[in-house]
Amino acid sequence: MENINWYPGHMKKTRELITQNLKMVDCCIEVLDARIPVSSRNPLIDEILGSKPRVIALNKSDLADEGQNRAWAEYFSEQGRKSAVVNCSSGSGVKELFRMLEAMEKEKNAESKVRRPFRLMIVGVPNVGKSSLINRMSGRKSAKTGDKPGVTRGKQWIRLQNGMQLLDTPGILWPKFEDPHAGRNLAFCGSIRDEIMDLPTLGMELIGYLGETYPELLMARYKLEEIGDTPLETMEALALKRGCILPGKRIDYERTGRLVLDEFRAGRIGRITLERPEKGPAERKG
C-alpha cells in the first residue's frame, strides 16, 4: 500500500488542544492497539508530550495474541516505559493501570506542599479504544464510544473512580504515513476510515499476512483446505466458501475484503498480533 495522506482539520485542532492543556496535567495515558503497538504509536505524540510522565495502555488485548501481549509488556519495561495490558470489554488490566497511576500520584504528593487531584490526559490515534478505557476508569459512560474513528470531537474533563481527573482528547493521526506498513496496519485495525481505502486490496493484503503468520486460524475460520500460492488465490477460495459471488459466477472482491476486515477487527478469526517486539524496528512492521 502506498503512502497515505490523511490529515483532516480536526486532527490539527487536536494537536493544538493537547499542546495547550499539557501544562495542566501531571501524567499522560498513551493508548495503543495491542495488535499494532508500533503502528499505533503516533510519532508526533513523543514530540508533543516531551518529558511529561507517561503510562502506556496496551488496549484491545483480548483481540491480540496472548503471548505477544506479554512480550510487548516486557519490551516496554526493558525500554523503561510503564505499561499495562488492558481489555476494556472485561476490565482486565484496569486495576493494574490504576495502581501505576496511584504510585505516581503518591510520589508527586510527597514532593508537593499543596495537594490537588492528580490530573491525567489520554492520547492516542483514532479507534484504539480511548473512550472505552475512560468509561472503565470512570465507572460510567462518560465518553462516547464507537467502532469507527473520529467519535470523540472535543475535550472533556472526567472524574475517575479513584478521584483523579482525566482530560479526554480526540484521536490524532499524523500528516503522512511515511512507512506504508504503518498505514496498512492502522487501516487493517480500522483507525483509518474505510471510505478512503481500497477495501478489496486491503482485504487481500490482510489475507496475505494471515496466510503467512496465522495460517491455521485463517483456514479454520473459513474452512479452507490450504493456503493458496498467492493472497489472491486464497481470497478467491475464501469468497467461494462464504458465497461472495456476483451474477455470472464472478468473485465479489469488495464484499470479500470487507468480510475479512470486519471479522479480523471483531476477533472472529482469532487472537492476532500484527507486530512483534523481538524483531528490529523495520521488521516489527509486519
Using alpha carbons, select from 102, 126, 105, 104 the residue that is nearest to residue 40.
126
pLDDT band at 133 (very low <50, low <70, confident <90, very high): very high
- Distance (Å, rounded) from C-alpha 286 to C-alpha 273? 9
Joined grid coordinates for residue 177: 504515513
pLDDT tens digit string along 88-123? 989 999 999 999 999 999 998 887 777 788 999 988
Using alpha carbons, select from 264, 254, 258, 225 the residue that is nearest to residue 241.
225
pLDDT at 281 over 50: no
Secondary structure of the chain in HEC code, one letter for each residue: CCCCECCCHHHHHHHHHHHHHHHHCCEEEEEEECCCCCCCCCHHHHHHHCCCCEEEEEECHHHCCHHHHHHHHHHHHHCCCEEEECECCCCECHHHHHHHHHHHHHHHHHHCCCCCCCEEEEECCCCCCHHHHHHHHHCCCCCCCCCCCCCCCCCEEEECCCCCEEEECCCCCCCECCCHHHHHHHHHCCCCCHHHCCHHHHHHHHHHHHHHHCHHHHHHHHCCCCCCCCHHHHHHHHHHHHCCEECCCEECHHHHHHHHHHHHHCCCCCCCCCCCCCCCCCHHHC
- Distance (Å, rounded) from C-alpha 223 to C-alpha 245? 17
pLDDT at 207 over 80: yes
Of residues 202 and 14, which shows the higher confidence score? Answer: 202
Residue 42 identity (one-letter amino acid): N
Q: How many CB atoms lie within 10 A of CB 274?
A: 27
pLDDT at 279 over 60: no
Paired residues of 123 in beta bridges: 30
User: Beta strands 119-123 and 27-33: pairing type?
Assistant: parallel
pLDDT at 5 over 80: no
- Distance (Å, rounded) from C-alpha 53 to C-alpha 62? 27
Q: How many CB atoms lie within 10 A of CB 152?
A: 22
pLDDT band at 164 (very low <50, low <70, confident <90, very high): very high
Using alpha carbons, select from 64, 83, 59 the residue that is nearest to residue 73.
83
> CA 26 → CA 44, 108, 198, distances in Å?
19, 9, 41
Domains in the chain: ranges and CATH: 9-168 (3.40.50.300), 198-285 (1.10.1580.10)
Residue 88 identity (one-letter amino acid): C
> Worst-scoring range by mean pLDDT, 44-53, 195-204, 206-215?
44-53
Q: Identify the pLDDT of residue 155.
A: 64
Mean pLDDT of the 167-187 span: 73
pLDDT tens digit string along 7-44? 455 566 767 777 888 888 999 999 999 999 999 988 77
Q: What integer best gives the mean pLDDT of the chain?
A: 85
Contact between 32 and 42 (Cβ < 8 Å):
no
Contact between 173 and 125 (Cβ < 8 Å):
yes
